[in-house]
């Protein structure tokens, strides 16, 4: 049986060793494809790792107009192929887990492909190798679930939409499915406002938030087009 | 490779429709060959094999293009692109978008240069080598361009059957015309050599390359160029020794390439012009307004784009509408999607300090990790 990827976010201590390891990789030098997110720290001490969950029926691949995103025999959703990707960014919007990244200059989408180069020769993905707490792990299903008292869950529910993923997340025993929006709802009821924490003097970690990514979005020169136009107009 | 949701039609319908489109493509090419060669009057029988292969390739390319357009997401983008392209106000305001993008992204592929200069040089060599060769060979094969010997070294040139001039094969113009394909072959060989070298030494591509998809096109291009050059070499310096087997091999390889075109990596030649539409889309979309995340309020995409992706998602059978929050899941930015999920998880395992009831309360974590790691002391401290 193919080896599987497991996450136990509760064990994540936010050390970002996985991000550092991911950046070392040759296929996307200097860019991490794993995310460590802090929740609102007033609300929870938890940090949360996100790798590509490798959906069994991946929305990103299904909405890709160029048919550039493929799955391999083990269900791993590969990166957009470099010659097909027409940088439409559908996958970024569609992904239910917020995973793909867009490299504007290179006009390319990149995402975690579970270290295809390493797993194909029997090694663990970089992040799982680097993780000191086994919040990220990779191996035979039977072996790994024995090391955890909780149950490994790969079913997700977003409203009416169910999703199955190839990556498992450990949850308390008897959990069959993650009801992603259920708790969200409670939080809103509790008067939770996501930006309040920021206004209260808390700092978000630079480079992690989408605010950095989208700053000056409208004026950003995506493919060098406006620079050329300005040149032509003699500005 | 598993395939993704392939079509808005049933498999059978898709095949029928795509076959019709394929036949249409084939018929169109046949018509153009007939007209362009003046009912085959200027058609070169020696090139019949290429012409027939081209007809099959036309069928397969049109077939593939058809199935591609029947993908729900492609259809959304295709419709939008044309809608934007054909609108008069847009035409006036964004007139330069298409030609400039065409030159930058399709002819010179400046974005590949950002990936690395070597990759760009490689691709430029391949692109110009192959495109220019096509520009010479297809018209010859289809009889649109025709040379007829009228003296030992003089040729009459016909374009679409119209006589346009004469050429001395040994003069500078004639010589270079007859050897144009050799120059292009050299370009392709340089491009392939760089591609091979990259694939050999670059640790980032070696593990992920696949023989049929990544290597076969290179082998084909390389061997076609080499056999093509060999033809010139044996003709010029070896009295045409081995001309015939080399011609056959060359022809066989070219036909393989033509038939490979619709299926493998080289389909990107036909499919990439769609990126022109994407460029226009973003130009116009960004003027129409940004979409702010329903949770954090920050812009994360074009309003137009988010709506179109929702349409595309519905088209492929997803429904991410969330009655709980009155939003689509796609109304949240990437980070908020991750954080909401993490929050749900934290709540589930008891790592959150806000209880469903809204009370501020510390909870003990439910074990997903080995219990032994959590000492009693740690538990008492509310760890
Ligand atoms: C319509 C214009 C074209 C565009 C925009 C385009 C774009 C691309 C891109 C983005 C790549 C990936 C390059 C990389 O990141 O390393 C690529 C690869 C490639 N292209 Fe094109 N291409 C075009 C036309 C052509 C043509 C006419 C050929 C000739 C057959 C060609 C042959 C190849 C080959 C062989 C590769 C793979 C190179 C490798 O092995 O690494 N392309 N193309």
Whether the CB of B148 is below 8 Å from some CB of chain A: the reply is: no
Query: Looking at the partner chain, which of B268, B316, B352 has a beta carbon nearest the beta carbon of A44?
Result: B352
Which residue has the CA at smallest separation from atom 15 of ligand 1?
Answer: A82
Percent pLDDT > 90 in chain B is 32
pLDDT at A25: 80
pLDDT mean over B193-199: 94
Determine whether the interchain pair A43/B293 forms a contact, defined as Cβ–Cβ distance below 8 Å: no
Residue B106 CB less than 6 A away from ligand 1: yes
Whole-Å CA distances, A125 to A6, A100, A129, B176: 11, 17, 6, 54
Whether B214 is in the pocket of ligand 1, judged by its Cβ within 6 Å, is yes
- Tell me the count of A-B CB pairs closer than 8 A: 305
Range of weakest confidence among A21-30, B228-237, B273-282:
A21-30
Contact B2 A70 (CB under 8 A): yes
pTM score: 0.81
pLDDT digit string, tens, across residues B307-365: 999 988 988 889 888 876 778 899 988 888 888 888 778 777 766 654 444 333 344 44
**Cβ of residue B224 lying under 6 Å from some atom of ligand 1:** no
**Is the distance from the beta carbon of residue B184 to the nearest atom of ligand 1 less than 6 Å?**
no
- Give which of A99, A125, A213 is closest to B341, Cα–Cα: A99
* pLDDT given at position B361: 39
Q: Is the interface score ipTM higher than 0.95?
A: no
Q: Is the CB of B266 under 6 A from ligand 1?
A: yes
Neighbours of B242 (CB within 10 A): 13
Classified as helix, coil or strand, A178 is strand
Q: Hey, are the CB atoms on A87 and B278 less than 8 Å from each other? A: yes
Task: Indicate the average pLDDT of chain B.
Answer: 84
Give the bridge partners for B354, in sequence order: B360
Task: Indicate if the pLDDT at residue A39 is higher than 80.
Answer: no
- Per-residue pLDDT of B61-70, as tens digits, reads 999 999 888 8
Is residue B263 within 8 Å of B271, Cβ to Cβ? no
Cα–Cα distance list, B68 to A139, B7, B246, B330, B383 (Å): 37, 8, 37, 25, 54
Please check whether residue A199 touches B, CB under 8 A: no
pLDDT at B171 over 70: yes
CB contact under 8 A, A161 and B318: yes
CA B123 to ligand 1 center in whole angstroms: 6
A202 touches B at CB < 8 Å: no
Q: Name the phi and psi angles at A168, rounded to 5.
A: -105, 145
Helix (H) or strand (E) run with residue B21 in it: helix B11-36
Lowest mean pLDDT among A69-78, A221-230, B138-147: A221-230
- Give residue A42's pLDDT: 61
**Nearest CB to B296 within list A29, A89, A194:** A194
The confidence score (pLDDT) of residue B286 equals 83
Tokens of B258: 């033509």
In chain A, what residues touch B97 (CB-CB under 8 Å)? 225
Chain A contacts in chain B segment 201-220 (CB below 8 A): 202-208
B320/A188 touch (CB, cutoff 8 Å), yes or no: no
Of A117, A179, A192, which is closest to B208 when you measure between CB atoms? A117
Give the pLDDT confidence score for residue B324 in this predicted structure: 67
Asked if residue A148 lies in contact with residue A170, where contact means CB atoms within 8 angstroms, the answer is yes
B219 CA → ligand 1 middle, Å: 14
Encode pLDDT of A122-167 as tens digits: 889 999 999 999 899 999 998 888 888 888 899 998 888 899 999 9
Tell me how far apart the alpha carbons of residues B22 and B55 are, in angstroms, rounded to a whole number. Answer: 10
Percent residues over pLDDT 70 in chain B: 89
Residues B130-148 have a mean pLDDT of 92
Mean pLDDT of chain A: 77
With pLDDT > 90 as the criterion, what percentage of chain A qualifies? 23
Check if the beta carbon of residue B285 is closer than 8 Å to that of residue B305: yes
User: Distance between CA atoms of B360 and B378, rounded to whole angstroms?
Assistant: 21
In chain A, where the domains are located: 4-233
Q: Does A137 touch chain B (CB under 8 A)?
A: no
Partner A contacted by B358 (CB < 8 A): yes
Q: Which residue did the predictor score with more confidence, A28 or B50?
A: B50
Dist CA A188 CA B247 (whole Å)? 74
The domain A4-233: what is its CATH number?
3.30.70.20
């Amino acid at each position: 049986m193919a080896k599987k990827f497991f996450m136990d976010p509760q064990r994540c201590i936010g050390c970002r060793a996985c991000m550092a390891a991911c950046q070392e990789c040759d296929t996307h030098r200097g860019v991490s494809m794993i995310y460590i997110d802090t929740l609102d720290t007033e609300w929870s001490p938890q940090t949360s790792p996100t790798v590509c969950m490798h959906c069994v029926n991946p929305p990103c691949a299904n909405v890709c107009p160029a048919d550039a995103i493929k799955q391999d025999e083990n269900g791993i959703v590969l990166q957009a192929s470099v010659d097909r990707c027409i940088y439409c960014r559908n996958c970024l919007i569609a992904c239910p887990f917020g995973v793909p990244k867009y490299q504007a200059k290179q006009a390319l989408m990149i995402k975690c492909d579970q270290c295809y180069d390493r797993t194909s020769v029997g090694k663990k993905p970089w992040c799982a190798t680097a993780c000191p707490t086994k919040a990220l792990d990779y191996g035979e299903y039977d072996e790994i679930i024995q090391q955890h008292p909780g149950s490994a869950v790969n079913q997700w529910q977003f409203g009416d939409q169910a999703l199955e993923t190839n990556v498992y997340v450990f949850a308390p025993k008897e959990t069959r499915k993650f009801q992603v929006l259920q708790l969200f709802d409670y939080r809103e009821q509790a008067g939770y406002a996501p930006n309040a924490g920021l206004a209260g003097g808390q700092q978000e970690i630079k480079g992690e938030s989408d605010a950095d990514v989208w700053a000056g979005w409208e004026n950003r020169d995506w493919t060098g087009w406006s620079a050329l136009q300005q040149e032509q107009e003699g500005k | 490779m598993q395939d993704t949701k392939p079509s808005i039609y049933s498999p059978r319908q898709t095949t029928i429709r795509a076959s019709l489109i394929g036949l249409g493509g084939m018929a169109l090419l046949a018509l153009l060959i007939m007209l362009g060669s003046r009912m085959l009057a200027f058609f070169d029988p020696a090139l019949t094999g290429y012409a027939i292969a081209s007809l099959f390739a036309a069928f397969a390319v049109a077939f593939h293009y058809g199935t591609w357009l029947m993908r729900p997401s492609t259809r959304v983008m295709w419709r939008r692109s044309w809608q934007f392209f054909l609108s008069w106000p847009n035409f006036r305001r964004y007139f330069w978008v298409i030609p400039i993008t065409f030159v930058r992204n399709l002819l010179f592929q400046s974005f590949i240069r950002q990936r690395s200069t070597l990759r760009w040089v490689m691709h430029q060599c391949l692109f110009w080598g192959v495109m220019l060769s096509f520009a010479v060979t297809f018209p010859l094969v289809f009889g649109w361009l025709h040379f007829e010997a009228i003296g030992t070294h003089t040729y009459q040139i016909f374009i679409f059957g119209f006589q346009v001039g004469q050429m001395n094969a040994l003069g500078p113009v004639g010589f270079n015309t007859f050897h144009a394909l050799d120059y292009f072959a050299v370009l392709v060989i340089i491009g392939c050599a760089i591609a091979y070298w990259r694939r050999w030494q670059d640790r980032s591509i070696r593990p992920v390359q696949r023989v049929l998809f990544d290597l076969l096109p290179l082998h084909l291009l390389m061997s076609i160029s080499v056999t093509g050059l060999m033809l010139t070499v044996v003709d010029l310096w070896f009295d045409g020794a081995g001309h015939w087997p080399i011609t056959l091999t060359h022809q066989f390889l070219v036909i393989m390439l033509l038939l490979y075109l619709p299926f493998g990596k080289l389909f990107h030649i036909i499919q990439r012009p769609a990126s022109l539409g994407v460029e226009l889309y973003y130009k116009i979309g960004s003027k129409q307004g940004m979409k702010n995340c329903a949770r954090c309020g920050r812009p994360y995409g074009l309003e137009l784009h988010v709506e179109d992706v929702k349409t595309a998602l519905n088209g492929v059978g997803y429904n991410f509408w969330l009655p709980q929050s009155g939003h689509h899941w796609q109304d949240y930015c990437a980070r908020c999607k991750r954080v909401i999920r993490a929050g749900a998880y934290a709540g589930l395992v008891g790592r959150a300090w806000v209880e469903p009831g809204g009370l501020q309360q510390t909870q003990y974590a439910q074990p997903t990790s080995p219990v032994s790691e959590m000492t009693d002391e740690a538990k008492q401290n509310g760890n």
